[in-house]
Amino acid sequence: MAGASQVGQFPSEVALDYTRIPYRLFFDPTIEALEQQRLFQGPVWNYVGLEAELKRPGDFKTTTVGRVPMVVTRTEAGDFRLLVNRCAHRGAMVCNEPRGHRAMLVCPYHQWSYDLAGRLRGVPFRGGAGGRGGYPADFSLADHGLQSARIDSYRGVLFGSFSDAAPPLTAYLGQQACAELDRVFARPLRILGYSRQEIRGNWKLYAENTRDPYHASLLHLFHATFTNHRITAEGGNDTAPFAGHIHSVKGDDAAEAAAYEAQVGARGYRLADPSLMAGRPEFGRRVLSILTVFPNLVVQQIGNTLATRQIVPLAVDRFELLVTYFGYEDDDAELASIRLKQANLIGPAGYISLEDGYAVELVQQAIQGECGAASVIEMGGRATESQDTLATENGLRAFWRTYGRVMGWDGPGAANGSGGATGAD
Amino acid sequence: MEAAAQRAQIEQFLAEYAAAIDEDRLEQWPEFFTERCLYQIIPYENFSQGLPVALMFADSRAMLRDRVTAHRKANVFAPQRYRHLIGPLRVIGEEEEGAIVVRANYAVYRTMLDAANYGRSELFSVGVYHDRLIREQGRLLLREKVVVVETARIATLLVTPL
């Protein structure tokens, strides 16, 4: 087939410098299957939750790594374990609740019982019934624990990996992402709640969206007007291999705001109740910071709203977005109420976020059946390095560079014989 | 007021509330509330665990008007419309300051009007209204409406109030 390439190779349509991404990557089920194996179960760290969600030994929460159901537990010793949520017996889901508290994890199907570290502790009728049946004499509980994955945390943010080849977590995150997490997770957290959305699009469209400061002030008028997230604002985009992207915005420049309105068109948009945006400075002049960690985490500080967003792929054309809102244990009453009010900004009904689900779906709907076309990612040039502007799509190019490497593609161009270059840094 | 008459009046009030949203008369929606009020759409997941975050939150009629302004001027979303089904209505009782405490199940069907999904209807949201109504100059108004959403996994986005 003309233009087709093996799934093990970079699709020939991908540009050498990641400025062209074929739409096929967003709806091809063979790509999706390969992502489960090479990417989500590959040498990456997947966000799986926050330590603050599991305060006591025996607490657990269910989550996923890619599409694999997982359970995070806190053991009697206080440490965290990440287990595949699938009975070692016949494959039933063991923990079938979003979260809970258990001394033992018991599979509902045949009551195989595991401890919080995933070790099999008992199976009913192991010796049979009335002297007949039962397991063979050499059946060993030790051979049939829940499959486990690596788990590590940085500043109370929990990450898991199926791969021994994943670098140590701090190296994976890189200095800048660690510094950002140091800022946002500086004090003990209080979980404030969750929101969930199911979006009919490929998860990578959202990964692109969160690395894209170009759209923010154009798609999200509310953002441009009230959070100073204008393309002309003082801000920057930092890229690193896995902690793919940090973009931040500093506010309070009236001349810049006027210049923006002149280009985009002022609409005389004012709030009847300005208390929504009457926040309290917590992070200096920084009004907004979005950190993305490859593949599935976004950490946001928008005004006084703090949250993690977990991208949960459900199918090639569907994902769930799970937002975990938090504040700090030492928040005073006023700050606590500011956070609840500003929660209006984000989530499925968020003034500055609800459009993102729509934008993802607009792309997914329009690319169906597409055989050769590709997106154009040239804002800010064709490189992937950090830039001190918001008028750029460098974060998207950096995402695709990492994606290509993790997928085991030797580099764009390899499939069509143009050189197998890997030097896209 | 006689219980049956009061109940009929509340039912009529909630039907008018729903119609204002369903018929895209959103500008009238804030007028169903008192000047100082509480409007929340909160997932059952949070409500049941005592976690305070809501999807929409307003503590003044002006803030409800801001929701409508954003809906009309700022937010970008696929054209769609709702149909509310409300009931059964339960009048729980009357509080000392005269607030009538009401619970009602609701279901909202959403019909998409965009090119890709034109005419597709789905059960968009189901849950319970926790309302506190007061009488101001003979007219019922919402002092508080807490929409406890059991459909916690929102289909794409929630832009129009419930």
Q: Which ranges of chain B have pLDDT less than 50?
A: none
CB contact under 8 A, B69 and A222: no
Q: CB-based contact (8 Å) between A355 and chain B? A: yes
CB contact under 8 A, A199 and B62: no
Q: CB-based contact (8 Å) between A325 and chain B? A: yes
Q: Which of B154, B159, B162 is the best substitution to test chain A (most A C-beta atoms within 10 A)? A: B154
- The answer to the question of residue A35 being in a domain is no
Q: How far apart, in Å, do the first and last CA atoms of chain A sit?
A: 32
Q: What is the CATH number of the domain that holds A57?
A: 2.102.10.10
Average pLDDT over residues A154-173: 96
**Same domain? A106 vs A186:** no
CB contact under 8 A, A343 and B53: yes
CB contact under 8 A, A349 and B70: no
Residues of B in contact with A367 (CB under 8 A): none
**Same domain? A260 vs A398:** yes
- The answer to the question of residue A25 being in a domain is no
B3-149 has which fold?
Answer: Nuclear Transport Factor 2; Chain: A, (3.10.450)
Q: Which of A117, A152, A187 is the last residue of a domain?
A: A152
CB contact under 8 A, B55 and A191: no
pLDDT at A267: 56
Output the 3-class SS for B121-148: EEEEEEEEEEEEEEEECCEEEEEEEEEE
Q: Among residues A79, A91, A84, A80, which one has the least CA distance to residue A63?
A: A84
Number of CB pairs, chain A paired with chain B, less than 8 A apart: 124
Could you tell me the two tokens for A111?
A: 């009551």
pLDDT in tens, B95-115: 988 899 999 999 999 999 999
CB contact under 8 A, A267 and B73: yes
* Contacting residues for B1 by C-beta, under 8 A, at least 6 apart: B9
CB contact under 8 A, B70 and A197: no
Number of separate domains in chain A? 2
Spatial separation of the C-alpha atoms in residues B126 and A231, rounded to whole Å: 39
Amino acid B108 reads V
pLDDT at A425: 30
Q: Is the pLDDT of residue A40 over 90?
A: yes
Cα A230 versus chain centre, distance: 24
Q: CB-based contact (8 Å) between A269 and chain B? A: yes
pLDDT at A414: 42
Could you tell me the two tokens for B156?
A: 């794409």
Q: What is the CATH number of the domain that holds A346?
A: 3.90.380.10
Q: What angle do CA A61, A65, A69 make, to 5 degrees?
A: 55
DSSP E strands: which ranges in A267-418?
Answer: 286-293, 297-302, 305-315, 318-328, 374-376
Q: Is the pLDDT of residue A87 over 90?
A: yes
pLDDT at A254: 61
- Return the bridge partners of A307, or none: A300, A325
Query: In this complex, which of B51, B69, B155 lies closest to A193 when CB atoms are compared?
Result: B51
pLDDT at B96: 82
pLDDT at B77: 96
CB contact under 8 A, A194 and B53: yes
**DSSP codes, B11-24:** HHHHHHHHHHHHTT
- The answer to the question of residue A263 being in a domain is yes
Q: In a 3-state reduction of DSSP, which class is residue B35?
A: strand
CB A345 within 8 A of CB A352: yes
CB contact under 8 A, A197 and B157: yes
Stretch among A181-195, A222-236, A328-342 having the lowest mean pLDDT: A222-236
pLDDT at B47: 98
**Same domain? A199 vs A310:** yes
Q: Which of B77, B156, B158 is the best substitution to test chain A (most A C-beta atoms within 10 A)? A: B156
Q: What angle do CA B73, B75, B79 make, to 5 degrees?
A: 100
Task: Give chain A's length.
Answer: 425
Residues of A in contact with B56 (CB under 8 A): 344, 349
Q: Give me the percent of chain A exceeding a pLDDT of 70.
A: 84
- The answer to the question of residue A370 being in a domain is yes
CB contact under 8 A, A197 and B56: no
Could you tell me the two tokens for A357?
A: 């689900």
Query: In this complex, which of A273, A343, A358 lies closest to B76 when CB atoms are compared?
Result: A358
pLDDT at A387: 78
Query: In this complex, which of A273, A275, A340 lies closest to B54 when CB atoms are compared?
Result: A340
| Closest Cα in chain A, distance from residue B63 (Å) | 5
Q: Which of A90, A119, A152 is the last residue of a domain?
A: A152
* Contacting residues for B109 by C-beta, under 8 A, at least 6 apart: B82, B83, B85, B121, B122, B123, B124
**Same domain? A118 vs A214:** no
Q: How many CA atoms lie within 13 A of B100 on its CB side?
A: 22
Q: Which residues of B touch A (CB under 8 A)?
A: 41-43, 45-46, 51-60, 62-63, 65-66, 69-70, 73-78, 116, 152-159
| Residue A216 binned pLDDT confidence (cut-offs 50, 70, 90) | confident
Spatial separation of the C-alpha atoms in residues A59 and A54, rounded to whole Å: 5
Q: Is the pLDDT of residue A126 over 80?
A: yes
**Same domain? A374 vs A310:** yes
Stretch among A331-345, A352-366, A379-393 having the lowest mean pLDDT: A379-393
H/E segment holding residue A84 = strand A80-84
| Closest Cα in chain B, distance from residue A126 (Å) | 39
pLDDT at A235: 67
pLDDT in tens, A217-244: 788 877 777 666 666 666 666 667 677 6
Q: Is the pLDDT of residue A266 over 60?
A: no
Residues of B in contact with A194 (CB under 8 A): 43, 45-46, 51, 53, 152
Mean pLDDT (chain A) is: 87
Residues of A in contact with B152 (CB under 8 A): 194-196
pLDDT at A186: 94
- The answer to the question of residue A230 being in a domain is yes
CB contact under 8 A, B43 and A193: yes
CB A355 within 8 A of CB A220: yes
Handedness of CA A283, A232, A342, A290 (dihedral sign): negative
Task: Give chain B's length.
Answer: 162
- Nearest-Å Rg of the Cα atoms of chain A is 23
Q: CB-based contact (8 Å) between A271 and chain B? A: yes
> In terms of DSSP bridges, do strands A46-50 and A157-161 run parallel, antiparallel, or are they unpaired?
antiparallel
H/E segment holding residue A359 = helix A354-366
H/E segment holding residue B89 = strand B80-94
Average pLDDT over residues A258-269: 60
Could you tell me the two tokens for A273?
A: 């109740």
| Residue A262 binned pLDDT confidence (cut-offs 50, 70, 90) | low
Domain ranges, ordered by start, for chain B? 3-149
**Same domain? A147 vs A182:** no
pLDDT in tens, A102-113: 999 999 999 999
- Return the bridge partners of A65, or none: A68
pLDDT at A263: 61
**Same domain? A190 vs A246:** yes
pLDDT at A241: 67
CB contact under 8 A, A349 and B69: no
Please state the ipTM of this predicted complex.
Answer: 0.96
- Give the residue numbers spanning the domain of A327: 175-406
Q: Which DSSP category does A145 fall into?
A: P
Residues of B in contact with A351 (CB under 8 A): 70, 74-75
Residues of B in contact with A271 (CB under 8 A): 66, 69
Average pLDDT over residues A129-147: 96
pLDDT in tens, A283-327: 887 888 899 999 999 999 999 999 999 999 999 999 999 999 999
pLDDT at A413: 45
